[in-house]
Copies of this chain bind each other. A is one copy, B any other.
Amino acid sequence: MNWWKVAGGILGGGVILAIGLLIGHFGISKDTKPQWVKELYTDLDEEFIKEFMKEVDNKRIEENLRALSEKPHVATSQADEDLVQLILSRWRDPQIGLDEVKEERYDVFLSFPDSKNPNNVAVVRSDGSTSFTSQYMESPLTDDQKHPDILQPFLAYAPNGTVTIEKKGSNPELALLVNLAKTIDLNGTIAIVRYGGIGRVNKAINAEKFGVIGVIIYTDPKNINDGKSDPHDSYPNSWYLPPSGVERGSFKENFGDQLTPYYPAKDFTYRIPESQIKGISNIPAQPIGYEDAKQLICNLSGSEAPWQGSLGCTYNTGPGFVQTSLFSNSDVQINVYNKRTIKSSANVMGFIRGAVEPDRYIMYGNHRDSWVHGAIDPSSGTAVMLEITRVLGRKLKEGKWRPRRSIIFGSWGAEEFGLIGSTEFAEEYYSKLRDRTAAYINVDIAVFANASLRAQGTPPAQSVIFAASKQEVGPDVTDALGQVKIPGDSSLTVYENWKNHFNRDSPHYGLIPQMHFNEGSVYGSVIHYTGSTSNTLEVKFTNVFTKCDYKKTSARIYPAYHTAFDTFDYASKYIDPGFTSHQTVARTAGNVLLRLSDSIILPLGARDYVELLENYYNEAEKQFLVNLNLHKISLEPLKTAINRYKTASETLEETIQNLKETDETPLRIRMVNDQLMLLERAFTNSMAFPNRLYFSHVLWATRSSSFATFPGLADAYQQATETDTTEDWHMVHHQLTIAIQAVESAASTLELATKL
Contact = CB atoms under 8 A, between A and B. Distances in A.
Interface stretch (A1-9, A338-346, A478-486): A1-9
A753 B264 contact: no
Interface residues of A, number: 94
A406 interface: yes
A755 interface: yes
B27 A29 contact: no
Interface in A641-693: 662, 665-668, 670-671, 674, 678, 681-682, 686-687
Contact of A24 (B21, B30, B354, B662): B21
B748 A102 contact: no
Nearest to A738: B263
A576 B13 CA distance: 71
Contacts of A637: 266-268
A496 interface: no
Nearest to A6: B23
Contacts of A681: 431, 434-435
Interface in A18-57: 18-34, 36-37, 39-40
A665 to B, nearest CB: 4
A28 B267 CA distance: 60
Contacts of A351: 755-756
B749 A358 contact: no
A520 to B, nearest CB: 26
A485 B19 CA distance: 62
Nearest to A354: B754
Q: Is the interface of A mostly helix, strand, loop or mixed?
A: helix
Interface string A247-266: 00000000000000011101
Interface stretch (A309-317, A376-384, A618-626, A728-736): A728-736
Copies of this chain, tallied across the complex: 2
Nearest to A361: B753
A746 B431 CA distance: 8
B28 A737 contact: no
A152 interface: no
Interface string A353-373: 110111100000000000000
Contacts of A754: 353-354, 358-359, 406
A753 B358 contact: yes
A28 B40 CA distance: 22
B356 A34 contact: no
Given A270-B730, A532-B687, A634-B268, A100 B756 contact: yes
A745 interface: yes
Nearest to A683: B431
A429 interface: yes
Contact of A37 (B25, B37, B359, B756): B37
A741 interface: yes
Given A19-B17, A20-B20, A359 B436 contact: no
A1 B102 CA distance: 45
Interface in A322-350: 349
A3 B21 contact: no
A270 B736 contact: yes
Interface string A276-305: 000000000000000000000000000000
Interface of A: 1-4, 7, 13, 16-34, 36-37, 39-40, 100, 102, 262-264, 266-270, 272-273, 349, 351, 353-354, 356-359, 406, 408, 428-432, 434-436, 532-533, 634, 637-638, 662, 665-668, 670-671, 674, 678, 681-682, 686-687, 730, 733-734, 736-738, 740-741, 744-746, 748-749, 753-756
12 contacts: A1-B28, A17-B17, A17-B20, A20-B24, A21-B28, A33-B34, A36-B665, A268-B740, A431-B746, A434-B681, A532-B686, A666-B666
